[in-house]
Amino acid sequence: MKSAVILFPGINRENDAIAALEQATGTKPTVVWHGETELPKTDIIMVPGGFSYGDYLRCGAMAAKSPIMRAVAERAKAGVTILGVCNGFQILTEAGLLPGALMRNASLKFICKNTHLKIENTNTRFTNQYKTGEVVDYPVAHHDGNFFADSETLDRLEGEGRVVLRYCDANGVVDPATNLNGSQRNIAGIINEAGNVLGMMPHPENAIDPLHGGTDGRNLFKSLVEAAS
């Protein structure tokens, strides 16, 4: 099982991503520098979190124009599994691989805390190890995680089962009180039409070790391996 992690200047959660992928696949992922134009042949590509280009201009906007992103888009079209977390999600939306946009948190503040998430669709490459409706606990750490799309797009995402994760409470209740950043319909993660690209704001890679305080994130990476094997 081969994986790759894309590295843009300013990305800072690449080692967290590498640790999670290595734990799940048994092999260290290849790190690919943004200036490259070609990707090695891999089953999984992860775009990790951080502050690519310092979040200047708009989160993810400059990274989306990097040379390597053309190759990532080709792989997306070819059906390779692509996971974008946090800044990675922002980059994938800016690159047009996922719909919508991530705006500033409703609180206008950076938020780092654990949050409950409801797994809405387990019939994906990213969530096949979870039970439908399962409530998991991952941390978030972002300033711009407020998911926005027009209502037509949102209806379509919902109708096609493409809303994969939603902010909720410990009992799975999804309501405004459990919406930590103002996202439309509490959306924390979505997939593309073909189901091979997932973008999400929370950090499953920071919930893979009992010393992290929880291991709920492991099944997400296990799902990737399961789907690819």
- Minimum distance from CB of 211 to another protein (Å)? 5
Q: Which is nearer to another protein, 125 or 143 (CB)?
A: 143
* Cβ at position 55, least distance to another protein in Å: 7
- 148 CB neighbour count, 10 Å cutoff: 15
100 vs 204, beta carbon nearer another protein? 204
Contact set with another protein (CB under 8 A): 9-10, 12-13, 15-16, 19, 49-51, 53-56, 109-113, 139, 141, 143, 203, 205-206, 208-209, 211-213
The catalytic residue positions are 86, 203, 205
Provide the minimum distance between the beta carbon of 119 and another protein in the complex, in angstroms, as a whole number.
21
**With respect to another protein, which residue has the nearer C-beta, 22 or 43?**
22
- Least distance from another protein to the Cβ atom of residue 149, Å: 26
Nearer to another protein, 53 or 126 (CB): 53
Which tokens sit at 214?
A: 């929880």
